[in-house]
Amino acid sequence: MKSLLNNLIDLFQKAAKKAFPELDATDFPTEVTPSTQGKFGHYQYNSAMKLTKILKQNPRQIAEKIVENLDQQDGLIAQTEIAGPGFINITLNKDHLSQRVDILLRDSHLGIDKPAHQQRIIIDFSSPNVAKEMHVGHLRSTIIGDSLARLFEFLGYDVLRLNHLGDWGTAFGMLIAYMKEEAPDVLTGKQKTDLTHLVNWYRASKKKFDEDPDFKRRAQLEVVALQQGQPQARHAWQIICEISSKAYKEIYDLLGVKLIDRGESFYNPFLAEIVADLEKKGLVQISEGAKCIFVEGFQNREGEMLPLMVQKSDGGYNYDTTDMAAIYHRIHQEKGDRLIYVTDAGQSTHFQMIFKAAEMAGYLNPKQVRTDHVPFGLVLGPDGKKFRTRAGETERLIDLIQAAIDHAEKILIERNPEMDEAERQKLAHALGVGAIKYADLSTHRMSDYTFSYDRMLRFEGNTAAFLMYAYVRVAGIKRRLKIEPASLLDHCHIHLEHPSEIDLGLHLLRFDEALEAVANDLLPNRLTDYLYTLAEKFNAFFRDCRVEGSPQQNERLLLCEATARVLKQGLDILGVPTVERM
């Protein structure tokens, strides 16, 4: 089912063309937006003023001619009104809206059409470094990336979720050399260990690397051995990766996040070939012994061109080389139609340079493949600085998630001390994890936000708990009535009559507009804003329109069910679980 907005754009585009046949379709914009105030109707056509410059006519006269040529046969529009200098206010037909909400309720995909062409979308997110704890800095990439992946999966695209792990380089030479000397039984399999030990060994190896020249040489030899694929070094590296992967999986399972691990090591076999190809194409310049690409338009503070270094002066490769190999592989091997990279804002320049260099090399054709860097701001503590523990350490992500679950359980005990313990723990997990995700996603991703368990676990305002409670309210109505809405579908249909019913029904039908906006600009807060407004409109409907025992009971129960389905799907796209009771 085509969205209301796209339907209106089509109608007004045809009306403008019919009213002014001399115009080429590309000459005039068709701008239709939701009305900012209900008293002015449901939507507003804003293009008459823009057409004034082209047609050299009064905008109100242009608006009148467009209205005269509107095709009203499908009954979508109930009324139009020309306001101000030439705005056209549009009120939709309540019967048409009723039919659409009825279709939404009965359709397994909520009336949203799947794309005619199933694009392959590759999303690079989370991406922790092996042998290091995931910390609060990984929270936003993981949550935002997962939400975008869920969105595109729901919309019907072919999505590849990639975890670009930092699993290669000098750090592993240091760690392998240190473990050979200090923890040999781990490398031979005689002793088990965990990520905490790895982190401590990594810190100790880094200190030794900086202070002991002999150890530094041994570590560098281990890097060479690893790069050459020597079995002993490779085996040690695999043990380190497996220990890290197990720890990360615990966090991903808690968050309900799925990823395919494809670290920097995956691209290692292609690096020499990529550099040789870039040289062959004349893009490489030598700068202080290093092989660099200089991309026009990128300069440092001194006005010097910034280098994209694809090979270091010692012959080694780095982050730039790996990302050049990765973008080539994702376009030409994985056949990606859209590449999305979810990393912090500090890497914006890096990715702009990578995209431009890939274009210069002929790897990327922007007309065929869309590339997006999705930057985000910081998570702050109460002091307005980067979120840390009381001891000043970076907060471990596993501790942060568990603390949210514990906070949620305390609140539930206060609200309902009689609740069964197993049910309470299940609900505490849903509420704690949901609160963290929603608090993050409801913030414009380019903004920093202050992390607060108290605020994110409130049952009022724009929080996960508020939305979950709106969903629970519908479940409660169904339990009290002892009616399953599915049993009504054959003989009952939704009729929107009361203003609060119409307002709720119209907002339900804008779900696809919200999803389309997020898919385009990759801002999940557009969806949280939509869902928060939906919960508020449902509460207004529940206040104004009695369901239980009213003459419209069954029709209104179906409207409640449609609301619950959209709420559940919207929250699922955000990765926020729903529950039947609270």
Specify the DSSP element, H or E, that contains 59. helix 59-68
Q: How is the beta sheet containing 32-34 ordered, strand by strand?
A: 32-34, 43-45, 87-92, 77-83
Alpha-helix residue ranges (DSSP H) falling in 183-212 = 184-188, 195-211
| pLDDT above 70 (res 104) | yes
Residues 324-341: pLDDT tens digits?
A: 999 999 999 999 999 999
Residues 135-167: pLDDT tens digits?
A: 888 999 999 999 999 999 999 999 999 999 999
| CA gap 114, 133 in Å, rounded | 39
| CA gap 433, 159 in Å, rounded | 24
460 DSSP assignment:
S
Contact predicate 80/90, CB 8 Å: yes
Residue 419 CB-density burial (10 A; 0-12 exposed, 13-18 middle, 19+ buried): middle
pLDDT of residue 187: 87
- Residue 170's pLDDT band (cuts 50, 70, 90): confident
**Token duo for residue 362:** 């002929």
pLDDT of residue 38: 83
Strands 379-380 and 32-34 come out as unpaired
pLDDT of residue 189: 84
- Residue 301's pLDDT band (cuts 50, 70, 90): confident
pLDDT of residue 486: 95
- Residue 389's pLDDT band (cuts 50, 70, 90): low
Provide mean pLDDT across the span 410-417.
Answer: 93
- C-alpha angle with apex 158: 154 to 160, nearest 5 degrees? 105
- Calculate the dihedral angle through the C-alpha atoms of 247, 248, 251, 252, rounding to the nearest 10 degrees: -140
pLDDT of residue 565: 98
Contact predicate 215/209, CB 8 Å: yes
Residue labelled with tokens 């550099």:
275
pLDDT of residue 26: 67
Mark residue 121 as left, alpha or beta (left: phi above 0; alpha: psi -120 to 50; beta: remaining).
beta
Residues contacting residue 183 through CB under 8 Å, at least 6 positions apart: 191, 193, 197, 201
Q: Partners of 44 in the beta sheet?
A: 33, 89
Q: Which candidate, 319, 312, 219, places its Cα nearest to that of 264?
A: 319
Provide mean pLDDT across the span 421-436.
Answer: 96
Q: Among 19-28, 69-78, 474-483, whose mean pLDDT is lowest?
A: 19-28
36 or 104, higher pLDDT:
104
| CA gap 441, 547 in Å, rounded | 33
| CA gap 500, 498 in Å, rounded | 5
- Residue 454's pLDDT band (cuts 50, 70, 90): very high
Q: How far is CA 176 from CA 16, 181, 216, 268, in A?
A: 70, 9, 12, 18
Q: Which candidate, 473, 489, 465, places its Cα nearest to that of 564?
A: 473
pTM: 0.95
Contact predicate 464/456, CB 8 Å: yes
pLDDT of residue 394: 77
Q: Provide the 3-class DSSP secondary structure of residue 365.
A: coil
pLDDT of residue 390: 62
Q: Rounded mean pLDDT of the chain?
A: 94
Q: How far is CA 464 from CA 75, 85, 433, 443, 554, in A?
A: 38, 42, 9, 13, 28
| CA gap 48, 52 in Å, rounded | 7
Q: Which candidate, 212, 213, 132, 219, places its Cα nearest to that of 175?
A: 219
- C-alpha angle with apex 311: 310 to 314, nearest 5 degrees? 160
pLDDT of residue 25: 64
Residues 248-300: pLDDT tens digits?
A: 999 999 999 999 999 999 999 999 999 999 999 999 999 999 999 999 999 98
**Token duo for residue 181:** 């000397």
| pLDDT above 90 (res 493) | yes
Provide mean pLDDT across the span 422-433.
Answer: 96
Q: How far is CA 188 from CA 35, 183, 274, 415, in A?
A: 68, 9, 36, 53
- Residue 391's pLDDT band (cuts 50, 70, 90): low
Report the amino acid identity of residue 9: I
| pLDDT above 90 (res 228) | no
Contact predicate 343/351, CB 8 Å: yes
